[in-house]
Structure 1
């Protein structure tokens, strides 16, 4: 199969560590139906594949021809597999994502890393030479890099994993990947929440609680949020010096907690820039919270499709 007919609707699935978002997307990019459900992240890969299939069925309509999955982890689109993953989703590494979902739904499936899929939606107006840095800060810290108008996959599909850059602010802290001192360990939502408690604040069950405390002047909450923001800003500013991007996008749930976070990130980012880049500033995604699910819906038209009842060999 070379790709679905351009007039046919496609299902886009955005799989994160916390939730699965599904959308039925027309050829014109219009979202025709939506559904969300929690990710059964602690129940194993088979349960996650089952949940993806449930989400797809919830938005599927007559004439739907394919599914695109934007998934957490290091994804190999050609093999349709998860080549590596943190323990955010238990047992996710090694999963035959495309073949498993195609068999469950009866539809061909294309897949890629969630942040790369979202980043592709930002490239349209950058031109053939566009260079982009795209960060997604949520349950984890993901990323994507595009050069010459193309999103880079890199060896083993690992390109763009910005959360695993060394970060001075995370010195001594264990990362979900098993290493020590990576950006994700201080900048992701759960990391900010945990750091607030380490600073002496009351333990919280989620980042939004920390943000609400900061809004009421809690110094521990304020410090945890601004430290995570500064760490992200510094890392992105250094990357900007190395890559010379035309645009830097910061997406995900964490940046949406409010101006305290965003202002600290932008200030730290600007402080790192070399003179030719001094006017560059991070921007929110142009597709808003739909960036990953819309990017997922594009995947069946741009990446190998994996058919039902196969062993994962693309068509």
Structure 2
């Protein structure tokens, strides 16, 4: 696609543990250019910032005005800092993400957690919805169940970031099903310790005595009638469903979205999650059901680009074309 010289646009970056995806996004949401490269996750934070800057240069065109970054880890969008992170990206916690990237590119930067940025794309009015500006936006819970359990929360259409950017990290809710199990954050008994893909796989190994390299292998064994595989999947799904149902009650949610890799293992997982979710709901919410994300593979980079319109921009000392 030909990029119009000087057309107003922003750059969206999706930083994960394995890949950085970049897109040049026009003001109407059209993606004008794309690029991706592997994340140098073991090389340290400075190397990751350098790779992000390299991706900016790969898609930059005259008229690009800002950069939005949807990043792994707990990100405080006000300070532009990664306040907490696992070892998926070595040395990532404490990184001055916004300032570091602005200094490398000469463009202002807005940043947020990757799940929260992606979830924001779900806040657009639904087809047939009410565009009335006097009506509040949706109160939404967004769960991303994969290698971990991430999430985001929006109240009346406003995405919450909370103190130090921790709002929406659903994986660290207490979960009775995870009692005594260690969580990646260092605590015990959190939802991620029983509801994530690796946690379900580990539960299968604990109860069966058999190894399984991946969740997909556990799902295949469940399909073949293995009772330990079936039970491990159901336990993880129920834990997530119960947590989401309780949050729906607490927030008065009118939309609950469940995405990530784990729900893709199929109906056995989703049926158990939905049943547990529904059982928790107060009477006024009993019509509510979790739904899959509406966004496609571009949701993360589009959400990242949108951050430049909704979050603080961290400016470099000198604005100009990426170096």
TM-score by length of 2: 0.85
Match of 2:130 in 1: none
Match of 1:196 in 2: 204
**Deviation of residue 14 (structure 1)?**
1.9
Match of 2:164 in 1: 156
For 2:48 and 2:218, locate their aligned partners in 1 and report how far apart those are by CA, in whole Å: 29
**Deviation of residue 239 (structure 1)?**
0.6
Match of 2:186 among 178, 201, 208: 178
Q: Secondary structure at the match of 1:248?
A: strand
Question: Unpaired segments of 5 or more residues in structure 2?
Answer: 1-5, 127-134, 319-323
Match of 2:25 in 1: 25
**Deviation of residue 40 (structure 1)?**
3.5
Question: What is the CA RMSD across the aligned residues, in angstroms?
Answer: 2.3
For 1:214 and 1:61, locate their aligned partners in 2 and report how far apart those are by CA, in whole Å: 50
Match of 1:211 among 203, 219, 222: 219
Match of 2:266 in 1: 258
**Deviation of residue 309 (structure 1)?**
5.2
Match of 2:112 in 1: 112
How many residues align structurally? 305
For 2:38 and 2:223, locate their aligned partners in 1 and report how far apart those are by CA, in whole Å: 28
For 1:206 and 1:66, locate their aligned partners in 2 and report how far apart those are by CA, in whole Å: 39
For 1:55 and 1:202, locate their aligned partners in 2 and report how far apart those are by CA, in whole Å: 42
For 1:215 and 1:51, locate their aligned partners in 2 and report how far apart those are by CA, in whole Å: 42
**Deviation of residue 69 (structure 1)?**
0.7
For 1:57 and 1:226, locate their aligned partners in 2 and report how far apart those are by CA, in whole Å: 46
Residues 261, 242 of structure 1: alpha-carbon distance in 2 compared, 3 angstrom cutoff: same
1:44 aligns with 2:44: yes
For 1:212 and 1:305, locate their aligned partners in 2 and report how far apart those are by CA, in whole Å: 47
**Deviation of residue 243 (structure 1)?**
0.8
**Where do 4+ consecutive residues of structure 1 move more than 4 Å?**
none
1:87 aligns with 2:87: yes
Residues 42, 175 of structure 1: alpha-carbon distance in 2 compared, 3 angstrom cutoff: farther
Q: Secondary structure at the match of 1:145?
A: strand
1:55 aligns with 2:55: yes
Question: Unpaired segments of 5 or more residues in structure 1?
Answer: 1-5, 311-315
